[in-house]
């Protein structure tokens, strides 16, 4: 497989989308969670405009339940690139009474993120948000446009999307509305890792095998943290694990792994019998349309 | 940084294809089968399908459940909007634009086909070609999809009969010529059981051609140099030290360091002083790569300009004849309609001057019409408030394609394929190129 060529084409498309949105919209921002997809997206933004600096800020919606390694990585990358970091804090939204602290066995703040995200968009007047979402992640994502229009309430209407033809994207919005732009739409998990390898992109250490205290819940390995209450049956064990996705600590599962390098991770993914989100995201298990429902509300 | 070369993108790598078929032709099942038999599905995806099939009371694994992503689609058992799916084999990676079959979703088929190298048109072996098969073939032809596969499905329900397949394939072949389709490959399949999808069918020993997957793995994709150089200027990068670069995605041809080129609209001849790819300086780069070009001369460059080959520039015109696929349910296109045309990296005002005809995609007849409604395809004249630099769509999808936008709603309301640019300078319109 001539992988370099495929990656070159995907890169060219992603760069095209980044430049197009930067050219046509007034106030874009790039959603950066510290995860592998947004790390790749940030690298592409760097490449699309150089030698000029990235012409928009980076936005992180911080659930307050992040892995320490991710926050450290976020701050370091942003510092290296000299881009402005805007943080929207879910904790602040909870404290301000904008959203309730989730309760229950899976007290994920993922859904609460939507409120913080939309408040932050309004506060800063962003009219475009780049995201690292891929259409291979989930079947509702498979339906999404590269430039996805959101109304004044941040809502996505899957039945009324703008047709996208050739490489022409319609990013026109009225005040208060915005677009979500997904330059990695056509990338797969494997493409992202191949690009990480080709470009030597640094990722948080979570993505590689390390010893960590975990416990099992509904077949998923969760990291021990002060954000999750364990029941007495949920015993802590120390295992060699890594993370395939990076999100809220309360709903992001680890996988048993000995893969310590990018090449070993790629080999492991090639052999795994389970998808990325199926293996590691509790928030998608809430029903067959969990992602679709969150996205309709404005979730990224 | 070392100087590297990013030239031709060889035939393998990545194939984009669109699938089209009427509601019960088994399109979702075919895609499910393709993913399943090429071992592109993982355990949790299969479990989800198994679970959903059980809940619906189906006895067998309903592979169609894999592809219907929206709640309403699963509830109604139909596909509403284009979905994109990804899989790969040892030989090639694939992007499927999975487009709905209903006549009312013509716009989605057009959307999916706009970026496809290949289209699969499904037909049910028991019913032969239907109005929908014809519609899909016509759309593939209009969009200039390079390769078309006629997949004659449900051969199991037609007794795996060779003559059934051959009759349908012949019918399709006759029509393909009339609508200007390029290479057509017909393959008899039974998606439900997997015959000739990934594995050759023991039930159809008379068929000696490739299985569907083999064909997809080996068909030639676009070649890098498919026309003279076209680089729509997308973004002008200015940086400290006086750096000025024209950034954009090559719409055709190869850009080379030192090459002479023409800047439009100024008409200035200049040279490529330096060429940057996303990875740094390169000596040459081919479509569809994104590049940044630095010019040898001090030319004033803006987004919406075009850099092109000196010897064969596109036509600049404010009057176009185009084939239009109307995509808005809320509003019809009529002579006098005012819209925006987005063409390459430029957006201009457009007025519909004439409606030449509406195309009956079943009979291929051009009928007089006074408006185009949702999913109608027709010929129209457009007048623009400033000229665009364009090629006929038949020569270049990117400099020949456009979309119309309704300025009051910001909706994308039409796909435009430029047939010819007409100029009015010498008093009478004349065809370009």
What is the pLDDT at residue A299?
62
What would the mean pLDDT of B346-357 be, rounded to a whole number?
A: 97
Question: Which stretch of A224-228, B2-6, B368-372 has the lowest confidence by average pLDDT?
Answer: B2-6
Confidence of residue B53 (pLDDT cuts 50, 70, 90): confident
- The contacts of residue A87 (CB under 8 Å, 6+ apart) are A59, A60, A61, A62
Rounded to a whole number of angstroms, the distance from the CA of B170 to the nearest CA of chain A is 32
Winning range, highest mean pLDDT, from A187-201, A285-299, B417-431: A187-201
The pLDDT value recorded for residue A4 is 60
Most confident of A142-151, B17-26, B28-37: A142-151
CA–CA gap between residue B46 and residue A229 (Å, rounded): 32
- Distance, CA of B397 to CA of B251 (rounded, Å): 8
The residue whose two tokens read 């016509």 is: B138
Q: Which two tokens stand for residue A3?
A: 């992988």
Residue B223: the pLDDT is 57
Whether the pLDDT of residue B294 is over 80: the answer is yes
What sign does the CA torsion over B59, B61, B62, B68 have? positive
Residue B81 is nearest to which of A13, A48, A158, comparing CB atoms? A158
The whole-number pLDDT of residue A232 equals: 85
Q: What is the mean pLDDT of residues B18-32?
A: 80
Provide the 3-class DSSP secondary structure of residue A205. Answer: helix
Is the pLDDT confidence value at A191 over 50? yes
Q: Which residue has the higher pLDDT, B269 or A233?
A: B269
User: Given this model, what pLDDT does residue A277 score?
Assistant: 64
Mean pLDDT of B66-81: 55
To test the contact with chain A by mutation, choose from B39, B235, B286, B323 the residue with the greatest count of A C-beta atoms within 10 A, namely B235
CB contact at 8 A, B410 and A173: yes
pLDDT of residue A136: 86
Report the pLDDT value the prediction gives residue B46, as an integer from 0 to 100.
77
How many beta carbons lie within 10 A of that of residue B106, not counting itself? 24
Q: Does residue B12 surpass a pLDDT of 60? A: no
Q: Which of A20-24, A74-78, A295-299, B232-236 has the lowest mean pLDDT?
A: A295-299
Question: Side-chain half-sphere of B232: how many Cα atoms within 13 Å?
Answer: 26
Interface predicted TM-score (ipTM): 0.90
Query: Distance (Å, rounded) from C-alpha B219 to C-alpha B230?
Result: 26
pLDDT for A93 beyond 60: yes
Q: What is the pLDDT of residue B431?
A: 42
Name the residue of chain B whose CA is nearest to A4's CA.
Answer: B13
CA torsion angle for A230, A234, A237, A239 (degrees, to 10)?
A: -90
**pLDDT tens digits along B370-385:** 999 998 999 999 999 9
Q: B interface mutation test: which of A18, A19, A165, A280 has the most B CBs within 10 A? A: A165
pLDDT of residue B1: 35
Q: List C-alpha distances in Å: A156 to A149, A293, B181.
A: 7, 10, 37
What's the pLDDT score for residue A295? Answer: 63
CA B400 – CA B343 distance, rounded (Å): 8
Q: Closest by alpha carbon to B110, among B369, B359, B289, B386?
A: B359
**Inter-chain residue contact B84 with A185, CB threshold 8 Å:** yes
Lowest average pLDDT, out of A5-19, A109-123, B200-214, goes to A109-123
Q: Please report the residues numbered 238 through 297 in chain A whose beta carbons come closer than 8 angstroms to any beta carbon of chain B.
A: 272-275, 278-279, 288-289, 292-293
CB interface of A with B, residues 74-103, below 8 Å: none
Mutate to test the interface with B, among A163, A292, A293 (most CBs of B within 10 A): A163
Regarding predicted confidence, which is higher, A124 or B40?
Answer: A124
Exposed e or buried b per residue across A235-262, where buried means at least 16 C-beta atoms within 10 angstroms of its C-beta: eeeebebbbbbbbbbbbbbbbebebeeb
Beta bridge partners of B121: B20, B150
User: For residues B34 and B21, which has the higher predicted lDDT (pLDDT)?
Assistant: B34
Does A190 lie at the interface with B, CB-CB under 8 angstroms?
A: yes
Inspect the interface and report whether the beta carbons of B234 and A19 lie closer than 8 Å: yes
- Is A232 an interface residue toward B (CB < 8 Å)? no
Place of tokens 């993914």: A269
Q: Is the dihedral of CA A261, A266, A272, A276 positive or negative?
A: positive
Compute the mean pLDDT over every residue in chain B, rounded to the nearest whole number.
Answer: 86
Q: Facing residues of A131 across strands?
A: none
Give yes or no for residue B54 having a pLDDT over 80.
Answer: no
pLDDT, mean of residues A257-265: 94
Strands (E), A218-263: 220-223, 237-243, 254-256
Q: Is A19 on the interface with B (CB under 8 A)?
A: yes
Q: Which of B6, B17, B225 lies closest to B117 in space, CA to CA?
A: B17
Show the CA angle centred on residue A223, arms to residues A219 and A228, nearest 5°. 90
Q: How far apart are CA A171 and CA A25, in angstroms?
A: 7
pLDDT of residue B4: 37
Which residue matches tokens 């498309």?
A13
**Range with lowest mean pLDDT among A50-54, B59-63, B368-372, B414-418:** B59-63
In chain B, residues with a C-beta closer than 8 Å to the C-beta of A186 are: 84, 86, 95
Pairwise pLDDT comparison (A281 vs B54), residue with the higher score: B54
pLDDT bin (cut points 50, 70, 90) of residue B205 is very high
Confidence of residue B21 (pLDDT cuts 50, 70, 90): confident
pLDDT of residue B433: 40
Mean pLDDT throughout A9-28?
97
Alpha-carbon span B313 to B297, nearest angstrom: 19
Do the chains contact at B237 and A174, CB–CB below 8 Å?
no
pLDDT digits (tens, 9 = 90+) for A73-83: 999 999 999 99
- pLDDT of A246: 82
Query: Per-residue pLDDT averaged across B244-252, rounded?
Result: 96
Name the residue among A124, A120, A114, A144 with its Cα closest to residue A132: A144
- pLDDT at position B146 over 90: no
Main-chain phi, psi angles of B344, to 5 degrees? 45, -120
- CA gap B71, B52 in Å, rounded: 12
- Write a three-state SS string for chain B: CCCEEECCCCCCCEEEEEEECCCCCCHHHHHHHHHHHCCCCCHHHHHHHHHHHHHCCCCCCCHHHHCCCCHHHHHHCCCCCCEEEEEECCCCEEEEEECCCCHHHHHHHHHHHCCCCEEEEEEECCCECCHHHHHHHHHHHHCCCCEEEEEEECHHHHCCCHHHHHHHHHHHHHHHHHCCCCEEEEEECECCCCECCCECCCCCCCCCCCCHHHHHHHCCCCCCCCCCCEEECCEEEEECCCEEEEEEECCECEEECCCEEEEECCCEEEEEEEEEECCEEEEEEECCCEEEEEECCCCCCCCCCEEEECCCCCEEEEEEEEEEEECCCCCCECCCCEEEEEECCEEEEEEEEEEEEEECCCCCCEECCCCECCCCEEEEEEEEEEEEEECCCCCCHHHHEEEEECCCCCCEEEEEEEEEEEECCCCCCEECC
Query: What are the residue ranges of helices labelled H in chain A?
Result: 3-24, 36-49, 68-81, 90-95, 113-124, 189-199, 262-271, 276-280, 290-297
pLDDT of residue A223 exceeding 70, the answer is: yes
Q: What is the mean pLDDT of residues A113-118?
A: 85
Please give the average per-residue pLDDT across B308-329, as a whole number.
94
* Number of Cβ within a 10 Å radius of residue A35: 24
What part of A 28-57 touches B (C-beta under 8 Å)?
44, 47-52
Which pLDDT score is estimated for B150? 95
Record: contact B249-A172, CB cut-off 8 A: no
Angle at A16 between CA A10 and CA A17, to 5 degrees: 95
Q: Which of B42, B69, B240 is nearest residue A143 as measured by Cβ atoms?
A: B69
Residue A2: which of B13, B342, B410 has the nearest Cβ?
A: B13
* Between residues B126 and B85, the one the model is more confident about: B126
pLDDT of residue A221: 86
More confident residue, A90 or A14: A14
C-alpha dihedral, B330 to B96 to B228 to B284, nearest 10°:
130
Give how far B206 is from chain A: nearest CA, Å.
32
> What value does the mean pLDDT take over residues B149-161?
96
Residue A149 has what DSSP assignment?
Answer: E
Q: What's the confidence (pLDDT) of residue A205?
A: 92
Question: pLDDT at position A30, please?
Answer: 97
Residues whose CB falls within 8 Å of the CB of residue B408, separated by 6 or more in sequence, listed in order: none
Closest residue of chain B to A139, computed from CA coordinates: B69
Sign of the Cα torsion B269, B273, B276, B281 reads positive
Task: State what percent of residues in chain B have pLDDT above 70.
Answer: 87
- State yes or no: pLDDT of B41 exceeds 90: no
Q: A166 vs B397: CB contact, 8 Å cut-off?
A: yes
Of A16, A135, A163, the CB nearest to B84: A135
Q: Which residue of B has its CA nearest to A170?
A: B412
The burial class, CB within 10 Å (0-12 / 13-18 / 19+), for B39 is exposed
Instruction: Give the residue, B76 or A135, on which the prediction is more confident.
Output: A135
- pLDDT band for B5, please (50, 70, 90 cuts): very low
Question: Does A149 have pLDDT greater than 50?
Answer: yes
**C-alpha span between B235 and B246 (Å, rounded):** 6
Rounded Cα distance, B21 and B124, in Å: 9
Task: Please tell me the distance in Å from B30's CA to the nearest CA on chain A.
Answer: 17
Rounded Cα distance, B122 and A244, in Å: 37
Which residue of A lies nearest to B250 if distances are taken between CA atoms?
A12
The answer to whether the Cβ–Cβ distance between B238 and A51 falls below 8 Å is no
Residues contacting B387, CB < 8 A, separation 6+: B265, B316, B317, B318
Identify the DSSP state of A207.
G
CA distance, residue B266 to nearest chain A CA (Å): 21
> Residue A84 belongs to what H/E stretch?
none
Cis ω before B265 (30° cut-off from 0): yes
Q: What is the pLDDT of residue A280?
A: 61
The predicted pLDDT at position B3 comes to 36
Identify the pLDDT of residue B94: 93
Chain A residues within an 8 Å CB radius of B6: 8
Give percent of chain B with pLDDT exceeding 90: 63
- The per-residue pLDDT for range B76-117, each reduced to its tens digit, is 544 557 888 888 888 899 999 988 766 667 888 898 999 999
Which residues in chain B are contacts of A172 at CB distance < 8 A? 405, 410
Chain A residues in contact with B84 by the CB 8 A cut-off are 135, 142, 185-186
Inter-chain CB proximity A9 and B9 less than 8 Å:
yes
Split at pLDDT 50, 70, 90, the class of A170 is very high
Residue B52: pLDDT over 80 = no
- How many whole angstroms separate alpha carbon B225 and alpha carbon B432? 22
Mean pLDDT of all residues belonging to chain A: 86
């Amino acid at each position: 497989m001539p992988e370099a060529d495929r990656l070159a084409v995907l890169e060219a498309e992603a760069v095209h989308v980044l430049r197009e949105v930067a050219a046509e919209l007034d106030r874009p921002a790039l959603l950066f969670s510290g995860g592998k997809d947004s790390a790749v997206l940030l690298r592409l933004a760097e490449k699309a405009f150089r030698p000029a600096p990235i012409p928009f800020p980076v936005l992180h919606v911080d659930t307050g339940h992040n892995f320490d390694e991710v926050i450290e990585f976020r701050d370091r990358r942003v510092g290296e690139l000299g881009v402005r970091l805007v943080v929207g804090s879910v904790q602040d939204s909870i404290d301000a009474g904008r959203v309730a602290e989730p309760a229950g066995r899976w007290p994920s703040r993922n859904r609460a993120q939507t409120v913080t995200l939309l408040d932050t968009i309004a506060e800063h007047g962003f009219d475009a948000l780049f995201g690292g979402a891929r259409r291979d992640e989930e079947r509702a994502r498979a339906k999404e446009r590269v430039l996805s229009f959101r109304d004044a309430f941040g809502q996505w209407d899957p039945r009324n999307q703008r047709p996208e033809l050739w490489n022409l994207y319609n990013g026109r919005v009225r005040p208060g509305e915005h677009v979500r732009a997904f330059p990695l739409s056509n990338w797969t998990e494997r493409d992202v890792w191949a690009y990480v390898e080709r470009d030597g992109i640094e990722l948080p250490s979570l993505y590689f095998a390390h010893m960590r205290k975990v416990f099992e819940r509904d077949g998923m390995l969760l990291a021990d943290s002060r954000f999750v209450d364990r029941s007495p049956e949920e015993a802590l064990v120390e295992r060699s694990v890594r993370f395939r996705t990076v999100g809220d600590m309360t709903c992001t599962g680890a996988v048993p792994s000995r893969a310590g390098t990018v090449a070993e991770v790629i080999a492991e993914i090639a052999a795994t019998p389970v998808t990325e989100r199926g293996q590691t995201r509790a928030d998608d298990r809430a029903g067959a349309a969990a992602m679709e429902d969150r996205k309709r509300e404005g979730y990224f | 940084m070392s100087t590297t070369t990013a030239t031709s993108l060889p035939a393998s790598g990545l194939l984009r294809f669109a699938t089209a078929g009427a509601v019960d032709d088994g399109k979702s099942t075919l895609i499910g089968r393709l993913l399943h038999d090429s071992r592109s599905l993982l355990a949790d995806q299969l479990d989800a399908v198994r679970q959903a099939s059980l809940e619906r009371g189906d006895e067998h694994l309903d592979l169609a459940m894999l592809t219907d992503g929206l709640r309403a689609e699963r509830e109604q058992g139909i596909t509403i909007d284009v979905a994109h799916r990804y899989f790969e084999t040892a030989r090639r990676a694939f992007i499927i634009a999975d487009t709905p079959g209903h006549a009312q979703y013509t716009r989605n088929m057009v959307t999916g086909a706009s970026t496809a190298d290949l289209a699969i048109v499904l037909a049910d072996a028991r019913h032969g070609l239907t109005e929908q098969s014809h519609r899909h073939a016509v759309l593939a032809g209009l969009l200039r999809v390079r390769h078309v596969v006629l997949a004659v499905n449900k051969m199991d329900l037609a007794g795996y009969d060779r003559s059934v397949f051959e009759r349908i394939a012949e019918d399709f072949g006759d029509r393909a010529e009339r609508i200007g389709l390029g290479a057509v490959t017909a393959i008899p399949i039974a998606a439900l059981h997997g015959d000739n999808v990934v594995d050759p069918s023991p039930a159809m020993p008379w068929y000696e051609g490739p299985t569907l997957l083999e064909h997809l793995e080996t068909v030639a994709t676009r070649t890098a140099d498919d026309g003279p150089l076209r680089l729509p200027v997308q973004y002008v990068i200015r940086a400290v030290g006086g750096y000025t670069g024209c950034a954009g995605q090559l719409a055709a041809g190869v850009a080379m360091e030192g090459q002479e080129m023409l800047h439009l609209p100024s008409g200035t001849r200049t040279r490529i002083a330096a060429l940057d790819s996303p990875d740094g300086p390169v000596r040459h780069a081919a479509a569809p790569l994104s590049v940044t070009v630095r010019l040898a001369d001090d030319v004033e460059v803006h987004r919406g300009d075009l850099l092109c080959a000196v010897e064969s520039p596109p036509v600049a015109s404010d009057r176009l004849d185009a084939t239009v696929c109307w995509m808005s349910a809320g509003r019809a296109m009529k002579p006098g309609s005012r819209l925006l045309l987005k063409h390459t990296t430029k957006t201009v005002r457009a007025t519909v001057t004439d409606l030449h005809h509406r195309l009956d995609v079943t009979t291929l007849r051009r009928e007089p019409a006074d408006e185009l409604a949702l999913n109608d395809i027709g010929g129209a004249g457009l007048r623009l408030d400033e000229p665009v630099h364009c090629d006929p769509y038949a020569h270049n999808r990117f400099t020949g394609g456009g979309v119309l936008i309704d300025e009051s709603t910001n909706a994308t309301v039409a796909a435009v394929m430029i047939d010819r640019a007409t100029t009015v300078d010498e008093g009478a319109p004349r065809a370009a190129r």
